[in-house]
Structure 1
Amino acid sequence: MKKYVFTAACLCASAMAMAQENVQPAAKVPFDGMNLTWINGQNRQSSSPLQLKDKDGEVILTGTVLTDAYFNYNFARPKDNTQTISAATGRANEFSINQASLGIESNYKNVIGRLWLQTGSMTHIVQETDGAVTRGRNTGTGNLKFIREAAAGYHFNYKYGLNIEAGIFMSYIGLESYVLQENWSYQRSMVCEFTPFYFQGARVQFYPTKKYKVELWLLNGWQTYNSWSKNIGFGNSNYYRPSENVQLVANFYYGNDTHVAGSNTLSKVRRFHHDNSIVARYFKNPASKGISQAAFSLNSHYGFQSGDGIKAKDNYMTGTSLTNRVWFNKNKLALTLRGDFVTNPGGYLAFVPAAPSAQPNAYDKAIASGKDLKMGQLSATFDIMPNDLVTFRFEFAHRNANVPYFAGSGGTTSQTGFTSDPVDPTWLPDLVKSENRLIWAVNFRL
Structure 2
Amino acid sequence: MRKFLTFGLAFAASSAALAQTTPTTDPALAVPPAAAPAPATPGPLTFYGFVDGYYGIDFHHPDTQVRPSFLYSHNRQNEFTVNQGLIGMRYDDGKVRGAVGIHAGSYVTANYAAEDPVFKHIYEAYAGFRPFDKAWLDFGIFGSHIGFESAISKDNWTLTRSLMAENSPYYEAGARFTYEVGPKLTLTALALNGWQNIRENNQAKAAGTQIQWKPTDKILINSSTFYGNEQPADVATRRRYFHDFYITYAATDRLSLAAVFDVGKQQAARPAGDNGNKYDTWHTGAAFVRYKLADKWTTALRGEYYKAERGVIINSFAPVVGDGDAFIRGGSLNFDYAPTGNVVVRLEGRVLNAQNNIFAEADGVNHSTYGNLTSSIALSF
Shorter-chain TM band: 0.7 to 0.9
* Deviation (angstroms), 1:246: 0.7
**What is the TM-score of this pair, normalised by structure 2?**
0.86
1:108-257 correspondence to structure 2 within 5 Å? 108=93, 110-128=95-113, 130=114, 141-156=116-131, 158=133, 161-257=134-230
Contact residue 304 and residue 316 of structure 1 kept, 8 A: yes
| Aligned-partner Cα distance in 1 for 2:294–2:14 | 18
Deviations 1:74-105 (A, max 9, x none): 01222022112311122111111111000100
Unaligned runs of 5+ in 2: 20-38
* Deviation (angstroms), 1:404: 2.2
Residue 248 of structure 2 aligns with an amino acid whose one-letter code is V
* Deviation (angstroms), 1:265: 4.0
Out of 321, 324, 338, the position equivalent to 1:385 is: 338
1:348-363 correspondence to structure 2 within 5 Å? 348-351=312-315
Structure with the bigger percentage of strand: 2
Residue 219 of structure 1 aligns with an amino acid whose one-letter code is L
1:17-416 correspondence to structure 2 within 5 Å? 39=7, 42=10, 48-49=16-17, 57=41, 59-84=43-68, 85-108=70-93, 110-128=95-113, 130=114, 141-156=116-131, 158=133, 161-259=134-232, 265-284=234-253, 293-306=254-267, 309=270, 313=278, 315-330=280-295, 332-351=296-315, 369-409=322-362
Deviations 1:187-223 (A, max 9, x none): 2111111111111111101001111001000001111
Percent identity between the two aligned chains: 24
> For residues 4 and 314 of structure 1, do their structure 2 counterparts lie closer, same or farther at Cα, with a shift above 3 Å needed?
closer
> For residues 341 and 436 of structure 1, do their structure 2 counterparts lie closer, same or farther at Cα, with a shift above 3 Å needed?
same
Give the equivalent residue in structure 2 for 1:133.
Answer: none
Unaligned runs of 5+ in 1: 6-38, 131-139, 285-292, 353-363, 412-429
Deviations 1:16-72 (A, max 9, x none): xxxxxxxxxxxxxxxxxxxxxxx4654898863279xxx993522111111101111
> For residues 40 and 437 of structure 1, do their structure 2 counterparts lie closer, same or farther at Cα, with a shift above 3 Å needed?
farther
Contact residue 5 and residue 170 of structure 2 kept, 8 A: no
* Deviation (angstroms), 1:181: 1.4
Contact residue 52 and residue 84 of structure 2 kept, 8 A: yes
| Aligned-partner Cα distance in 2 for 1:182–1:380 | 17
Contact residue 67 and residue 100 of structure 1 kept, 8 A: yes
**What is the TM-score of this pair, normalised by structure 1?**
0.74
Give the equivalent residue in structure 1 for 2:369.
Answer: 434
Do residues 3 (structure 1) and 4 (structure 2) align?
A: yes
CA RMSD of superposed structures (Å): 2.6
Secondary structure of the residue that 1:83 maps to in structure 2? coil
Contact residue 146 and residue 224 of structure 2 kept, 8 A: yes
Structure with the bigger percentage of helix: 1
Contact residue 304 and residue 330 of structure 2 kept, 8 A: yes
